[in-house]
Amino acid sequence: MKIGFDARFIAWKGVGTYSRNLLKQFAQVPGLEVVCFVNDDTKNRLPAGDNFTTVTLNEEVFSSRSLNKIGAAVNKSGCSLFHTPYVVAPSGLECPLLVTAHDIIPLLFPKSIPGFRERRAYRSLLADSIQKADHIITVSTVSQSYLLAHFKLPLAKVSVILDGVGHEFGPRSDQEIKVVTARYKIGQPNILWLGEFVAHKNVTALVSAFAALSQKIRSHYKLVLAGEKRGDWQEVKKEADRRGVGNLVSFPGFIKDPDLPALFSSADLFVYPSLYEGFGLPPLEAMACGTPVVCSNSSSLPEVVGDGGLLVAPRSAALSAAITEVLTNDNLKQRLRRRGRERAALFSWDTAVAKTLDLYRELAR
């Protein structure tokens, strides 16, 4: 079987993690040929595979004018199926199209995509890809329900295939933690958050919750907000200053993938107050590293975190109370460590890839 895969997104957050993990597994599948469509900026991130060939497509992602060019390139490659892990669908395909739509967050929270032009392009590309797709993968039942309702799709057209947790996520040694925390100037002990500084991540509520903690707890812990300094990060910093905790909140910036397990392992608590997630990998990865998790009870997060974390309303008062409960209750902390690792072990990229390959075979037939 020869499939095409749009690998132009492998350096992205979320979609990139999904793409890289699928491709790593595809490299080991006997009888599978994969044509990887890449661009010059990201082709060096492509996992190695003897069964991979590459086609370079330096086309702007948010340009509808490029869709015919992409379709022609796919047709020329002779693929029996084309899979795009993002909602950008080529035009004029001569083979079945499989689209992974992780969520519709930009429709629910438009400012998660900066720029009016980009938001308008996303809405157009999303609707276009849903219409063109022969089948759609999404990553949680919540995302499935939103897609079905918003686009009035039949249930048979949208499959749920849950994301996995990479084998690299697990507790790290004190020495490795020391090296990584020194690299990013992260103090310990700490309360950790990781993600993008966009509205639906609800980071200001976490800052307010931290400020509302007792003086005894605040004097002992740093709040670490890890993520690329883009989007709303300056507004979050201003909120910390306004709340009088600016000196206790650190912004280490973007964390490289190999350092993430040690980062999660360094934290006494990981807090994820997001208002909406299509899946939500960071709390699951933290749980796999044995870090207790406090997580909002919204969207797909209860489906993912289950009883492996403490689920609360994504409001400052509830978050503050939950943080206090975990940090002052050793029995609860140890229980969350144990349950978190057990829960994370249920999410495997091996399973995700096996189900994806089953879909490939079905569509290719």
Q: Is residue 157 part of a domain?
A: yes
Angstrom distance (rounded) from CA 100 to CA 138: 6
223, part of any domain: yes
The DSSP string of 92-135 is S-SS-EEEE----HHHHSGGGS-SHHHHHHHHHHHHHHHHH-SE
Shared domain for 261 and 227, answered yes or no, is yes
Within this chain, do residues 322 and 188 fall inside the same structural domain, yes or no?
Answer: yes
Per-residue pLDDT band at 109 (split at 50, 70, 90): confident
Domain match, 279 and 318 both = yes
How many whole angstroms separate alpha carbon 87 and alpha carbon 129?
6
Q: Are residues 211 and 325 in the same domain?
A: yes
List, for residues 234-267, the tens digit of each pLDDT value. 999 999 999 999 999 999 999 999 999 999 999 9
3-state secondary structure 33-92: EEEEEECCCCHHHCCCCCCEEEEECCCCCCCHHHHHHHHHHHHHHCCCEEEECCCCCCCC
- Shared domain for 100 and 241, answered yes or no, is no
Cα separation, 54 vs 39, in Å, equals 10
Domain count of the fold of the chain: 2
**pLDDT higher than 90, residue 112:** no
Regarding whether 191 and 104 lie in a shared domain, the answer is no
Taking residues 104-120, report their average pLDDT: 78
Does residue 169 sit within a domain?
Answer: no
| pLDDT for 271 | 98
Same domain membership, residue 157 and residue 88: yes
The model's pLDDT over 310-336, given as tens digits with 9 standing for 90+, comes to: 999 999 999 999 999 999 999 999 999
pLDDT of residue 45: 87
Q: Are residues 37 and 147 in the same domain?
A: yes
Confidence (pLDDT) at 277 = 94
What pLDDT does residue 134 have? 97
User: Which of 74, 32, 69 minimizes the C-alpha distance to 49?
Assistant: 32
C-alpha span between 305 and 197 (Å, rounded): 22
Helix and strand element counts for the chain (H, E): 15, 13
237 and 125 housed in the same domain: no
Classified as helix, coil or strand, 2 is strand
**Residues 37 and 152 occupy one common structural domain:** yes
The verdict on 302 and 332 lying in the same domain is yes
Whose tokens are 């950008």? That residue is: 88
Q: What is the pLDDT of residue 61?
A: 80
In a domain, 98, yes or no: yes
User: What's the mean per-residue pLDDT of the chain?
Assistant: 94
pLDDT tens readout for residues 47-106: 889 999 999 988 888 778 889 999 999 999 999 999 999 999 999 999 999 999 999 888
Q: Give the number of C-alpha atoms closer than 13 A to the C-alpha of residue 52, restricted to the C-beta side.
A: 20
Rounded average pLDDT over 29-34: 94
- Note down the domain range covering 190: 174-344
pLDDT value of residue 111: 74
Q: What is the CATH number of the domain that holds 154?
A: 3.40.50.2000
| Domain presence at residue 191 | yes
Shared domain check, 39 and 143: yes
